[in-house]
Amino acid sequence: MDNDDYRALIDILKGQLRAAGAGEIADDRHYLFPDPNDGEPRLMEPLKQLTQMLAAFERKLAMEDRQTFERALGRMNEVLRGERINGAEYIPARDGDREPRPIDLARAADLTQVREGVQHLIGRLQEIPLPPRRLG
C-alpha cells in the first residue's frame, strides 16, 4: 500500500468513527506535530496517523468495556478489609421531581473481541513495508 491507500483508509475510518459517535477521535488536530524546520504544524505520515487513530479508538473501547468494570472491581475487592463492593452504579441528574433511575455499570458490553480486532489490525498495518519517502 502507498500513502494514497492509507489516506483513503483514514477517510473510511473517520466516517466510521463519526457514525459511531466518536467523531472527536477523527479530528486531524490530534495527529499534528511541529515541523522541526519551521515549527509549523504538520500532519503525521498517513500510516502513522491511521494506526494512531485506531489506537485512540481502542482506548475509547477500553473505557466502555465490561472487562474494565470487572478488573476494577476485582482489584479493589482484593485489598479491602471487611465488606466487599458488590457493584457500581451511575446516578443521572435529577429531572424535576423525579428520582433518577440508577444505571448498573455492569451492563456495559464485553468489548474484548472488538479490542483484540483493533489491536490485530494495527499490528498487521505496522508489518507492511513503508512506502518510499519522497526525497528533495
Instruction: Kindly list the residues in this chain that would bind other proteins in the complex (CB under 8 A).
Output: 1, 5, 8-9, 12-13, 16, 19-22, 24-25, 27, 30, 56-57, 59-65, 67-69, 71-73, 75-76, 79-93, 100-103, 105, 107-111, 113-114, 117-118, 121, 124-125, 127-128
Q: What are phi and psi of 111, to 5 degrees?
A: -105, 20
Question: Of 19 and 135, which CB lies nearer to other proteins in the complex structure?
Answer: 19
Question: Of 83 and 132, which CB lies nearer to other proteins in the complex structure?
Answer: 83
Q: How far is CA 44 from CA 65, 94, 105, 109, 130, in A?
A: 29, 44, 37, 33, 14
For the chain, give the number of residues. 136
In the complex, what is the shortest distance from the CB of residue 134 to other proteins, in angstroms, rounded to a whole number? 20
Question: Of 27 and 35, which CB lies nearer to other proteins in the complex structure?
Answer: 27
Which parts of 2-65 are beta strand (E)? 32-34, 41-43
In the complex, what is the shortest distance from the CB of residue 37 to other proteins, in angstroms, rounded to a whole number? 20
Helix, coil or strand: residue 119: helix
Burial bucket for residue 59 (CB in 10 Å: 0-12, 13-18, 19+): exposed
Question: Of 99 and 127, which CB lies nearer to other proteins in the complex structure?
Answer: 127
In the complex, what is the shortest distance from the CB of residue 55 to other proteins, in angstroms, rounded to a whole number? 9
In the complex, what is the shortest distance from the CB of residue 133 to other proteins, in angstroms, rounded to a whole number? 20
